A and B are shown apart, each in its own frame.
Chain A
Amino acid sequence: MIRRRHLLAATASALGAPAIVERANAQSAFDWKQFKGQSIEVNYQLSPRGDIAKAHIKDFEELTGIKVGFEQIPEQQQRPKVAMEMATGHPSFDVVNVGMHVQKRLIERASWMADLRPLIADKSLTAADFDQADFSKPSMDVATAPDGKLNVLPLNQDLFILFWNKELFAQKGLQSPPATLDELMTMAHQLTDASKGQYGFVGRGLKNANMTFWDDILLKWDQETVTPDGRKLLTDTPAAVEAATWYQKIMRECAPPGVIGFNWNECQTTFMQGRAAIWWDGIGFSAPMLDPNKSKVVGKIGFAPDPAGKVRNCATFIDGIGIPATAKNKKPAWLFVQWVTGKKMLTEVLRTGSGTPARLSCYAQTDVIKGSAFPPEWFETTQTSLNMARSGLPVIVPVTEFRDTLGTAITNIVAGGDPAGELKKATAAFQPVLDKSNEA
């Protein structure tokens, strides 16, 4: 027997059903078109990540109907440009790519960025499959300020690794890449034959640029460059001197002449031309080496994780993407940030070897790995490195000045200076700058 109450309930649910269905649909089919017709300005550092984003801008414009103005500038010019525009309070961009290993503390101190948490929490603005928990913990730690504010979303987690030339190794009867610093030193000497223009090793020597590399070496002594509170430099400790001495030895005895002026691009050219057997640098520089138009080592190149010292680890440098606090079009900008840090785009970054995204699910997609131009060894190296990654460069405001001052000392050391003396002098010169930055 149908009771009146049941009938009423059934009618009510039948009437309410369309609303529920609609809401369910809204969840499954996120409304990407909600800001159709609006336009945003996007500012990127020049990098393979920027290239990938630029190549897919049309997809985003079709998906959302938002028009994108896209600008890519080399990082040395982009950083000051961003800083100056942020300082005026009227930046010309709605989305900006920042190097958190250089600008993290400055961004936090100056409150440049909009907090992304409310945007992520808003169901009408964030697709259900966005999955914030998918980002690696070290990358989220860097993206988040001490007070919990989420300044950026991690775009890339660059990792230092070894590139090695299998052919040159085989010529000397060597089969596998070095696993420790000592092995690396020995092999580099074996592989060097200066009379033939062959060198066992190449790495950054140019001031400022060399600090990421030297910091990575120092991490093998289980030591950072600054105390965790960011107040005291640790760059003249016995471990720092040992790391600098190791660096001096390999650069002077196994690297090509002129290496003190080498940034990553000179190192890359030297390695791609088969003139150096080992190059130690960021994994983000892999792609051109597999391009037969640019590289003479295609098919001969091996990838290996950082060698172990007292401990085994590798430096990671994270860059992110965020929205200025004073941006005019925050909501459409958020759709861009959401799209470019989404699973699809970051998987594309990984597939093309344009970077090593901080999203862990990208690495679980075996079909992507199989379809990639990169050998399985590259993906294994990435996985191993991600698991032992430690943040490189200190989290302080004057990172660039730190890199210049200490980097000059490191360059002088390669030119023949005394490691202990040079480090002591540079540390003494930079400590007051650090103190002053902590006062402000």
Chain B
Amino acid sequence: MSTTTATTLSRPVTTRGHAYARHYWAFAVPAAVVVLLVILFPWVFTIFMSLHDWKVTGATPFVGFANYAKMLQDERFLWAIVRTLWFTAATVIAPVLLGVWAAVCFASQFKLRGLARTLFVLPMMATPVAIALVWTMMFHPQLGVLNYLLTSVGLPPSSWVYASSSVIPTLVMVETWQWTPLVMLIVLGGIASLPQEPYEAAILDGASAWQMFRHITLPLAWPFIMVATVIRLIDALKTFDTIYVITLGGPGTSSETINILLYQTAFAYYDLGYGSAIVVVFFLLILLISLLLLRVRQREAWR
């Protein structure tokens, strides 16, 4: 019965859609051409290059899946994947936790709230490369202001990005500093749109602030937190500027994520074939993670 209804209901829509398509298809042509040229063509061409031994000079012989097979034995690539995942996890979790906390704080009324909010979102407004250059100066182990601050309160100086063990946590700190405001803004927008009635009822029932957060704010704002997480995840996976400017993947290869490796492979070693293969694999990885998250989000939304 329900099927019949659905069919009957959907038919006129379809017919009208067909009519639109027949009469106005020309309007879609410019957009289609743009998509074809700037998205589809580069993709197909990247896949094509990944199947060839493509250098800047000389012939580009077809090598089948040799570039992909090479990846499995390339220790540098495998480590880059591990580092990318660890860097991504850290630069998603930290800003989301801090961002949600900040959003809850900024949702309440207090003096100079507007000013505090403005100050809080400033890091997000700055150009990542400029920020990275400033951080690099602050990280200098002997002359940087950070070690000066540490030692002036009696703490031992840190090597920051100048040691293999501390380079990724330090980069995570920079990313967190810059992108927590974005999460805060999205979640704050969500919290602001929540109805006030549940809170009023909770207050009447004598609920504590934590209970209200745990049982009202968090479930209601969850879709917004998920959106922020997905955006943050995609951004974190493709982080390039911060790492490139501050460490260039170093010391050694200690902070070399896939982005840095593929840039080096394609544009410093001019091995475009292998670089393209890395891009394809990396794209599949991003796609997989994003789909997974979106699926989780959809489930949450329909529960």
Contacts and interface: CB of A to CB of B under 8 A. Distances in A.
B258 interface: no
Interface in A386-440: 398, 400-401, 404, 408, 411-412, 415, 440
Given A206-B248, A206-B250, A207-B251, A259 B162 contact: yes
Interface in A145-197: 197
Given A257-B141, A261-B250, A404 B56 contact: no
B162 A80 contact: no
Interface stretch (A58-66, A265-273, A284-292): A265-273
A217 B76 CA distance: 27
Contacts of B57: 87, 106, 109-110, 440
B162 A261 contact: yes
A260 interface: yes
B141 A275 contact: no
B143 A440 contact: no
B253 A207 contact: yes
Nearest to B141: A258
A262 interface: yes
A256 interface: yes
Interface residues of A, number: 36
A83 B143 contact: no
B143 A270 contact: yes
Contacts of A411: 250-252
Contacts of A404: 264, 268-269
A338 B119 CA distance: 54
B142 interface: yes
A412 B247 CA distance: 15
Interface in B210-241: none
Contacts of B270: 80, 83, 106
B56 A110 contact: yes
A328 interface: no
A79 interface: yes
B163 interface: yes
A170 to B, nearest CB: 22
Contact of A261 (B55, B143, B157, B161): B161
B251 A415 contact: yes
B298 interface: no
A73 interface: no
Interface in A77-109: 79-80, 83-84, 86-87, 106, 109
B267 A84 contact: yes
A80 B268 CA distance: 6
A408 B58 contact: no
Q: Is chain A's interface secondary structure helix, strand, loop, or mixed overall?
A: helix
A275 B142 contact: yes
B136 to A, nearest CB: 9
Contacts of B58: 109-110, 440
B250 to A, nearest CB: 5
Contacts of B163: 258, 260-261, 415
B253 A269 contact: no
Q: How large is the interface on B (under 10, 10 to 19, 20 to 34, 35 or more residues)?
A: 20 to 34
- Among A79, A266, A275, the one with the most B-chain Cβ atoms within 10 Å of its Cβ is A266
B46 interface: no
Given A260-B162, A404-B268, A440 B55 contact: yes
B170 to A, nearest CB: 11
A260 B268 CA distance: 21
Contact of B269 (A205, A259, A270, A398): A398
A272 to B, nearest CB: 10
B142 A270 contact: yes
B267 A80 contact: yes
Contacts of B87: none
Interface in B94-148: 140-143
Interface string B158-190: 011111100100000000000000000000000
B212 to A, nearest CB: 47
Interface string A110-127: 100000000000000000
Given A197-B142, A404-B264, A257 B162 contact: yes
A81 to B, nearest CB: 9
Interface in B245-303: 247-253, 264, 267-270
A412 B164 CA distance: 9
Contacts of B55: 440
Contacts of B164: 260, 415
A38 to B, nearest CB: 30
B68 to A, nearest CB: 17
A258 B141 CA distance: 6
Nearest to B162: A258
Contacts of A84: 56, 267
22 contacts: A76-B248, A79-B268, A87-B56, A106-B56, A110-B58, A206-B248, A206-B250, A207-B251, A256-B141, A257-B157, A258-B162, A258-B163, A259-B162, A260-B162, A261-B163, A261-B251, A275-B143, A398-B269, A408-B252, A408-B253, A411-B250, A412-B252
Interface of B: 55-59, 140-143, 157, 159-164, 167, 247-253, 264, 267-270
Closest 3 CB pairs of A and B: A258-B162, A258-B141, A261-B162
Given A80-B270, A260-B250, A415-B252, 7 more contacts: A110-B57, A110-B58, A256-B141, A256-B142, A258-B159, A400-B264, A415-B164
